[in-house]
A and B are shown apart, each in its own frame.
Chain A
Amino acid sequence: MKHSLAPKQYLILLAVMLTASFGDSLLKRGMSQVGAVDSHHLGLLFHAIFNLNIVAGIVLLIGFFACYMVALSWADLTFVMPATAFGNVMIALLSRFWLHEHLSVSRWIGILLLTCAVGFVANGPSRTEHSPESDPFAGPRKPSSLARMDSGVGL
């Protein structure tokens, strides 16, 4: 049985990629403004929550979390993981073609590897089949869900 994702499900994966990358970048920008936090002043972490960049980062990461949970409800963790990694490629491509930054050869190879990784996984099943006996977290299964499953045979 060959699986296929609906266009809406691809959009969810795209949202996972974009919100995670931009959210992390905003957090880093915010923490650079807040300054270094040492173990004696951990309270500064709570002040960081009022920084605008941190707030924007948190909003994006909440969006990421919602999309991530939706994706995990119909796909395996090992299927969704490379999608989040592909966000790094998007940031690199944006910096090259939008910000006109220089990308070294090693970064182009990194982009190629991440694209291959997503290609490998995207061609496989989104959820591998589990027998109810062997799956400790087996939830409700409907015929529509089963139709999207695959036996999970490797390369």
Chain B
Amino acid sequence: MHVATRLLAWSCIGLVACLAIAGEVLIAAAMRQVGDLDDIRAHSGLPGAIRAVLTNRIFLTGAFCMALNFFAMLYTLSLIDLSLAAPGIASFTYIGNAIAAKLFLKENVDRRRWLATGFVCAGVYLLAK
């Protein structure tokens, strides 16, 4: 692969991963703020659960990031093979999400979860090899 093409490929992968991390962390934060959807649905029905999600500003920002991620993903897939794009994006996203979950969501990312994240990255790389 030409150097410029390779640079473009990894830039696209990095951009898609960043948008995915931002979207997923914002949506996770929103869902934590909203509470258990099963409980809300039992109490206010499906429309109540949908309203609780759609009126949350953090969720809307996260969904916007995921929409951008979707179009960036389409653009990336038109340039790069899925066998390179999927594991590349997945690996960066898993590590980035674990770091962002610890920093911003204050999740207790213990040794077990770090180990799982590392195994996922290595596993995805080997599957795509």
- DSSP class of B's interface residues: helix, strand, loop or mixed? helix
> How far apart sit A37 and B71, CA to CA, in the bound complex (Å)?
11
Q: Is the CB of B119 within 8 A of A69?
A: no
B100: nearest residue on chain A (CB-CB)? A77
> How far apart sit A77 and B34, CA to CA, in the bound complex (Å)?
15
The contact string, 1 if C-beta is below 8 Å from chain A, for chain B 89-129, is: 01000100110010011111111110111011011111111
Q: Is the CB of A152 within 8 A of B110?
A: yes
In the complex, chain A residues whose CB is within 8 Å of the CB of B32:
72-73, 135, 137-139
Q: Is the CB of A109 within 8 A of B108?
A: no
B interface, how many residues as a size bin? 35 or more
Q: Is the CB of A106 within 8 A of B112?
A: no
B30: nearest residue on chain A (CB-CB)? A137
- Chain A: minimal CB distance from B40 (Å): 8
Q: Does B77 contact A (CB under 8 A)?
A: yes
Contacts A69-B37, A77-B101, A142-B36; A118 near B116 (Cβ below 8 A): yes
Contact for A78 among B73, B79, B107, B129, CB less than 8 A? B107
Within 8 A of B (CB), among A112-155: 112-114, 116-118, 120-121, 123-124, 128-130, 134-142, 144-145, 152-155
A-B contact pairs, 5 of them (CB 8 A): A72-B32, A74-B38, A124-B110, A136-B106, A142-B36
Besides the contacts A31-B77, A76-B28, A130-B108, what 16 more A-B pairs have beta carbons closer than 8 Å? A24-B86, A27-B74, A36-B78, A45-B75, A72-B32, A73-B37, A81-B117, A85-B124, A89-B123, A92-B127, A112-B123, A113-B126, A137-B58, A138-B32, A141-B35, A155-B110
